[in-house]
Amino acid sequence: MIVSSSMHRQTPFPFTEELSDEEDDTNKEDDNPEELYLVGYVQVQVVGLQYYNGTVTDNEMVQLIREPHNPYDSNAIRVDNIRGERVGHIERYKACNLAPLVDQELVVIEGVVCSNSFRNRYRMPCNVYIFSQLPTMDFVEQLIAASGFQLITPMEDGFVLQQQEAMSAPEKDMSREERKRKIDNMFETLIQSSSKRQSMEPSSLITCKLMQHQKEALAWMVERENGSGLPPFWEAEIEKGSKEIIYKNTITNYSSKDRPDALRGGILADDMGLGKTLQLLALIATNKPGAVLSPVVDIVHSPVQKPDEDAKPSKKRKKLEEKENRSKKGTSKPADKSLSIADPPPCPPKLGGPRATLVVCPLTVLSNWVEQLSEHTRQGSLDVHLYHGADRAKDAKTLATKDIVFTTYGIIAKERNLPNSLLKKVHWLRVILDEAHLVKSPSAQQTRAAVSLKADRRWAVTGTPIQNSSKDLFSLMMFLKLQPLNERSFWTRTIQRPLLNGERSGFSRLQGLMSAIALRRTKETQVDGHRLVELPPKVVTVYPVELSSEHRRVYDQMELKGKNLVGNYLEAGTILQNYANVLSIILRLRQICDHAALCPEHADLLAAASSSQGPSLASPELLQKLLAQTGEEFDCPICLSPPDSAVITRCAHVFCQRCIQKTLMCDKKSCPLCRFPLTDSDVFSAPLDEAENESDTDSNVKSSAKIDALINLLQETRERDPSIKSVVFSQFAKMLTLVQQPLKKAGFKYVRIDGSMSVTKREEALQAFKSTKSKAPTVFLLTLKAAGTGLNLTSASHVYMLDPWWNPAVDEQAMDRVHRLGQTREVHIYRLIVTDSIEERILDLQERKRQFAQVAFGKSQEEQQRLMRVEEVQLLMRL
């Protein structure tokens, strides 16, 4: 029986989530499963130390692991150190009270070994910190009290001192604005972290001349791969009175005589369009087993120093930063100055060892790798294999003998659970994750598959390592196998939680980590007073479009009805409960701005939404229509990846079929988003899409104002210079289909890429567009989802964005397919925006997102797409 609480308590301390700038507490759901609050801590004894080899020291963070199948105690809670070595178990009579709370998912527990001179070889004291969701905090507190525990809560006088001793609390918190500024600027200033850079010439297998910033990246990557220094946050000490070297992790206080493995790899976070693919090809060709490396040349830059408001830190803060700077670089700190600790010599790849490099990338990016390989390496010098399709290798030995093996995230995810997976059998020289932000969800199949691969060297490559939150980096730590930060509990305790609490130590650690393992340059980065790369100008023009009288009437009717409906939701406070209806209305308005033919059922759908009293009344037919038009625009909220075998629930939420099935196997059969009760019969499969492909639309379908504006702009460009090529982006594949007939009528030759096309067809379209022949296509039709990243389209110089997306980074990535290295012409971007419409307000929303820098501390992009904030809905609907 749940005991109700009348106890008055102060506002609890949130530790795993924070409000973004654009919302307040009233907009936050209390039952968010990711949001935990500190209830307090209890003191226990860890027993059975004599039976295990794991060691710990004072104030060391430890892992607490439930062992429900322990043959001696079904309530057992095991204690491990950061290396996963067993230390002991929580004493039985206290574990029996904690274990049920953990098993029922009422609490999450974390441990810190206490400072105690009375510890013996059989037992030691430990503080167990208890976290709970907000609705259950009082209940949990009462259960703990009823169990006889002395719970020390955050409101008690002794708590702060204990927490400072155990958690190393900082001297001062940062404001929210300061936190955002520091995170947002962190990657931009990585290039300025040192005045000394190094350069290296690539192997002769690379046929082109690398730019200076690419040579510097090569030298940095080779040093990261072959160096034998300590990983970030580790330092070596020589114990007083002995000559033994002790290796200590400075953020968890773990100490060991065993030297931690060097981190061979890191994060290549260069901006889009700076040639990351070529830099990686140079690494593969240069740092091969048995290769003779070119000498490294030191280059001294004079970077422009940016002023920092914290220019005069306190002595205490200086000491803290000096200590963490030492540990992030892996430098040694001998206790005896007469002794020194030298790092082992470099360890380049050896003959007879692993040889093959596995490159994992999205399907849309494969063609770019193939193109770069053909253009920039000596023909036949690298043995390459495409592990995709029917012609893939059939045995692991064949893969292991290749220089490069290309595959996709989809393939590694599908093979993750196969016992005979060839990708898992091979011990790779290196694994490269291109567009590595796609593995930002730790629970996603492709993330787990990437982590499970065996490799000596690991690289995460992405222009957006932190897309929305510093939590995005945790999956990369898992892949890089950076102990102990590849364990969720230690990442949360040492990086994420201090960041969200505004503790300077959190930012200092994150900055130190990124400085040690990441390289980031942008197109605007200045070295010695000059930009890193000089690209032709990019001119962005917002081109206003006036709807025809017929389409304006349809739009105004839809907006008025939608405005009234959403206004009713706002007044009743039920906008999030009816969010599927809100999304449907917003989607219809956006589609009408492109072409009314995109949503011929608009009246029926709106009527159904208006009559619905809640998600339980939604019909399968309505849901299937909604999925048919919106399924491609959302990620599965469970795995945070594009839906695989998409299904939709009766409460109008889209999931992967496998993900929602696993969820419904739990005791609580409800929607993970809205908590609406669900059964298997409330989940509907997506209807089969009618094949559109590249077939022309019915010639009787009328044009739209936006299509007419596009054709006029293309014709004006052709009159000025017939050689100019153009790229047309839309989020709606059907919109591209509607554009095709007018393009033909106007005499334009075009090609197209969308999500329905095979790799072969994509490559054929890409090569046709890049051709310089007189009859080659001059217009490329692309969907944002299928071609917004990875492609190199520098043969074009004009870009037409037919519709804006919520996240400005998505639009900018699409633009950078054209504005990148290799571009020789001035790039013109035209954003076709319908006046007095929701599209204008989406542009306002994009600008707000830039200003508020949601990259650092907002909800994830997927969550923003699923649960748009109330004020954003008000902005879009003019309420």
469-492 pLDDT per residue, tens: 667 789 999 999 999 999 988 898
CA–CA separation, 175 and 182 (whole Å)? 11
* pTM confidence score: 0.71
Helix axes 579-594, 838-852, angle to 10 degrees: 120
Contact 656, 636 (CB under 8 A): yes
Q: What is the pLDDT of residues 660-706, one digit of tens each?
A: 877 777 656 777 766 678 887 778 775 443 334 444 455 567 889 99
Lowest-pLDDT range, 126-130, 160-164, 746-750?
A: 160-164
| Residue 305 pLDDT level (bands cut at 50, 70, 90) | very low
CA–CA separation, 614 and 359 (whole Å)? 47
pLDDT at residue 7, rounded to an integer = 31
User: What residue has token string 């773990």?
Assistant: 254
pLDDT at residue 167, rounded to an integer = 43
CA–CA separation, 170 and 200 (whole Å)? 41
Express as a percent the part of the chain with pLDDT over 90: 34
Q: What is the pLDDT of residues 237-281, one digit of tens each?
A: 887 777 788 899 988 888 888 899 999 999 998 887 788 999 999
pLDDT at residue 225, rounded to an integer = 95
If one looks up domain 230-261 in CATH, what number appears? 2.20.70.10
pLDDT at residue 49, rounded to an integer = 93
Length of the chain: 879
Has residue 196 got a pLDDT over 70? no
Question: Closest Cα to residue 108, out of 85, 92, 131?
Answer: 131
Average predicted confidence (pLDDT) for the chain: 78
CA–CA separation, 329 and 340 (whole Å)? 16
For 732, counting Cβ atoms within 10 Å of its Cβ (0-12 exposed, 13-18 middle, 19+ buried), the class is buried
If one looks up domain 705-877 in CATH, what number appears? 3.40.50.300
User: What residue has token string 């709106």?
Assistant: 606
CA–CA separation, 608 and 605 (whole Å)? 5
Name residue 827's beta-bridge partners.
538
Has residue 655 got a pLDDT over 90? no
CA–CA separation, 707 and 722 (whole Å)? 20
> Which residues, in sequence order, are CB contacts of 351 under 8 Å at separation 6+?
289, 290
For 785, counting Cβ atoms within 10 Å of its Cβ (0-12 exposed, 13-18 middle, 19+ buried), the class is middle
pLDDT at residue 412, rounded to an integer = 94
| Residue 716 pLDDT level (bands cut at 50, 70, 90) | very high
Contact 218, 279 (CB under 8 A): yes
Same fold yes or no, 191-227+265-294+348-527 and 549-685? no
Residue type, 676: F
Express as a percent the part of the chain with pLDDT over 70: 72
Question: Closest Cα to residue 106, out of 156, 79, 70, 66?
Answer: 66
Has residue 840 got a pLDDT over 60? yes
Contact 427, 354 (CB under 8 A): yes
Which value, to the nearest 10 degrees, does the dihedral of the CA atoms of residues 779, 782, 788, 794 take?
-20
Query: Is the pLDDT higher at 646 or at 116?
Result: 646
Name residue 152's beta-bridge partners.
41
Q: What are the boundaries of each domain within the chain? A: 25-167, 191-227+265-294+348-527, 230-261, 549-685, 705-877
Contact 426, 396 (CB under 8 A): yes
Does the bond joining 484 to the residue before it have cis omega, within 30 degrees of 0? yes
Query: Is the pLDDT higher at 861 or at 116?
Result: 116
Mind giving me the DSSP string for 74-138?
A: TTEEEEE-TTS-EEEEE-HHHHHHHHHHHHTTSEEEEEEE---TT--SSEEEEEEEEEE-GGGHH
CA–CA separation, 824 and 840 (whole Å)? 32
CA–CA separation, 830 and 845 (whole Å)? 18
| Residue 729 pLDDT level (bands cut at 50, 70, 90) | very high
Q: What is the pLDDT of residues 76-119, one digit of tens each?
A: 999 999 888 999 999 999 999 999 999 998 999 999 998 765 56
> Which residues, in sequence order, are CB contacts of 414 under 8 Å at separation 6+?
none
Give the pLDDT mean for 570-583.
72
Contact 347, 338 (CB under 8 A): no
CA–CA separation, 713 and 704 (whole Å)? 14
Helix axes 137-146, 92-103, angle to 10 degrees: 160
Has residue 714 got a pLDDT over 60? yes
E strands within 262-341?
265-268, 297-300
pLDDT at residue 238, rounded to an integer = 85
CA–CA separation, 577 and 307 (whole Å)? 46
Q: 3-class SS at 251?
A: coil
- Residue 825 phi/psi, 5-degree rounding, is -105, 160
25-167: CATH architecture = 2-Layer Sandwich (3.30)
Has residue 863 got a pLDDT over 90? no
User: What residue has token string 């405005």?
Assistant: 563
Question: Closest Cα to residue 146, out of 257, 2, 281?
Answer: 2
| Count of CB atoms situated within 10 Å of the CB of 170 | 20
Question: Closest Cα to residue 238, out of 338, 332, 334, 343?
Answer: 334
| Residue 402 pLDDT level (bands cut at 50, 70, 90) | very high
Question: Order of strands across the sheet with 726-730?
Answer: 538-545, 827-834, 798-801, 726-730, 779-783, 750-753
If one looks up domain 191-227+265-294+348-527 in CATH, what number appears? 3.40.50.10810
Name residue 538's beta-bridge partners.
827
Task: Estimate to the nearest angstrom the gap between the alpha carbon of 693 and the chain centroid.
Answer: 31
E strands within 403-506?
404-408, 427-434, 454-461
Residue type, 604: D
Topology at the third CATH level for domain 549-685: Herpes Virus-1 (3.30.40)
| Count of CB atoms situated within 10 Å of the CB of 400 | 18
- Residue 861 phi/psi, 5-degree rounding, is -60, -40
Contact 408, 444 (CB under 8 A): no
Burial 685-703, CB ≥16 within 10 A → b, else e: ebeeeeebebeebeeeeeb
For 578, counting Cβ atoms within 10 Å of its Cβ (0-12 exposed, 13-18 middle, 19+ buried), the class is buried
CA–CA separation, 125 and 112 (whole Å)? 9
| Residue 194 pLDDT level (bands cut at 50, 70, 90) | very low
